[in-house]
Amino acid sequence: MEFHSFQYLLFFLVVYTIYIVLPNKFRYIWLLAASYFFYYCANARYVPLLLGITLLAWLSGIGIEQAQRRNKTVMAKRLFVLTIILDLGILCYFKYTGFLLDNLKHFTTLFHTNTLSAIKDILPPLGISFIIFQSVSYTADVYKQTIPAERNAIKFAFYLAFFPKLVSGPIERAGTIIEQLRSPIRLHLADLKEGLSLILMGLFLKLVLSDNIAAVINPVFASWQDYSGLQIALALALFAFQIYGDFGGYSYIALGSARILGFQLSNNFESPFHAESVSEFWTRWHITLNNWLRDYLYIPLGGNRKGTLRKYVNTMIVFLLSGLWHGAEWTFVIWGGLNGLYIIAENVMKSTCKKAHRHGSSAEDRFSTHLRRRVITFLLFDFALLFFSMPNLSSALGMIRHSVTQPGIRELFNFGFLDLFPDIKTFAVITLALLILLWTDTIIYREKISYTTFFFRQSSAFRWLISIMAICMIIFFGAYGDTYEQTQFIYFQF
């Protein structure tokens, strides 16, 4: 049940209609039932697994808290470790068994043996990475006594299964969601307006920007041998915006759906392409995942408290595992490793840059300086995306070799690289959508406000004009356009 499908619209209308007439004390129970129905429609055979993960974390949290109250710290620690092992074991089984066996198969062929000739693909449950990470964070927070264990099983199940965030996040903390259930759920007209504006923005990013870009660049990634290096570079640049539109669009729809129902979810993006360093970029892109990795992996590993070398090692571990989290393929590991190396290089150069800035600090505020940093950050991120976009390592390396040997420099002067676009309409739609996105992000970045704050600062007439224009673009150039092909959200595979 895709967020941008008619089925989801019908599902949400039914859920909301019943929700608003229910007594307050039954509302979250109704949403829990709706969430499990949502998951059943997407992943019917794995509903028992979701129940099992929920029951494991809930019972474990209570057990850990009781053991700590009785000063049985060893028992609490063992229960905590066991729960984490079981959670991560479930994640590893579904996401990495095939990857490990496939690599073991290649290893055995080096010795002219093939004992693993038949490897059955294991289809991971939808949203398993997000569900497990939230379960782990809850267990860790209870163990660290950051939050109390939740005694109400239905409220805890609601935390893990709330349908707007169930499949692709945001990765919420238990304290954030469960705390909102401690007070009566109030429905306000302002929440309805804000939720609808967020959903409209999400649909625009997904249907008009991301899916139209996908139609242009998918043929390039499928048959890169037929394109020049310049066209591949343009496709990669567009791919960065496709992912942003796709995952950002999903996040806006998730936030908007939750807001209409009276809940606040965490923002996942904050104008990432305005970042002036890779370090800053990762504080603005997929924020909830990076905060999770910082709090539950980087800091427990020692963070930056145990010397410079250990700091760099911890950084690489975090980014390599972040890459592996995204997918069981060496391309994702390299993608994560490259971003880790970028950040280490930035840290190494920081002291040198500080010395240089002391002698030329006036250059720091120049527009050209900020622009240069943003362009460099984007290019570094975009090069790493080459590995993210390819199905395997050989294809990624082949694309790099092909781009170097067939650069297509002549196309830069005769605009031949624009042949990537099938027609002028597609080029115009993507360009307009990109300009709207960059304009909105620039205002949000400069004024340090949220999208909804920016939107509702405008006059009523302006808001209606923008909304009608967005709806028209979605209808004519998105969902009902003559060349539109609906695509699944990219992060559903993670």
Q: pLDDT per residue over 234-258, tens digit each?
A: 999 999 999 999 999 999 999 999 9
What spatial distance separates the first Cα and last Cα of the chain, rounded to whole Å? 16
Task: With beta carbons less than 8 A apart as the criterion, state whether 171 and 288 touch.
Answer: yes
State the Cα–Cα distance between residues 390 and 218, nearest whole angstrom.
11
SS3 296: helix
8-state DSSP, 150: P
Confidence (pTM): 0.91
Task: With beta carbons less than 8 A apart as the criterion, state whether 208 and 200 touch.
Answer: no
pLDDT at 354: 63
Angle made by CA atoms 100, 329, 399, in degrees to the nearest 5: 140
Catalytic sites, residue numbers: 326
State the Cα–Cα distance between residues 431 and 93, nearest whole angstrom.
43
Token output for 112: 């002219």
Nearest one of 155, 130, 164, 131 to 11, comparing CA atoms: 164
Specify the amino acid at residue 459: S
8-state DSSP, 434: H
State the Cα–Cα distance between residues 494 and 452, nearest whole angstrom.
28
pLDDT at 123: 76
State the Cα–Cα distance between residues 426 and 209, nearest whole angstrom.
10
Nearest one of 160, 6, 144 to 64, comparing CA atoms: 144
Specify the amino acid at residue 317: I
pLDDT at 487: 64
Angle made by CA atoms 397, 402, 405, in degrees to the nearest 5: 130
State the Cα–Cα distance between residues 378 and 281, nearest whole angstrom.
9
SS3 185: coil
pLDDT at 398: 94
State the Cα–Cα distance between residues 27 and 479, nearest whole angstrom.
32
Q: Please return the burial class of 415, using the count of CB atoms within 10 Å of its CB with bins 0-12, 13-18 and 19+.
A: exposed
8-state DSSP, 125: P
Task: With beta carbons less than 8 A apart as the criterion, state whether 166 and 213 touch.
Answer: no
**Bond into 164 cis (ω within 30):** no
State the Cα–Cα distance between residues 190 and 37, nearest whole angstrom.
28
pLDDT at 3: 84
Task: With beta carbons less than 8 A apart as the criterion, state whether 164 and 240 touch.
Answer: no
**Mean pLDDT of successive 10-residue stretches along the chain, which has 494 residues:** 87 95 93 96 91 96 96 94 96 84 66 53 82 96 95 96 92 93 89 95 94 92 91 94 94 96 94 95 95 95 88 94 88 94 91 58 72 94 93 92 89 81 90 94 92 90 92 82 59 61
Residues near 361 by beta carbon (within 8 Å), at least 6 away in sequence:
none
Task: With beta carbons less than 8 A apart as the criterion, state whether 84 and 136 touch.
Answer: yes
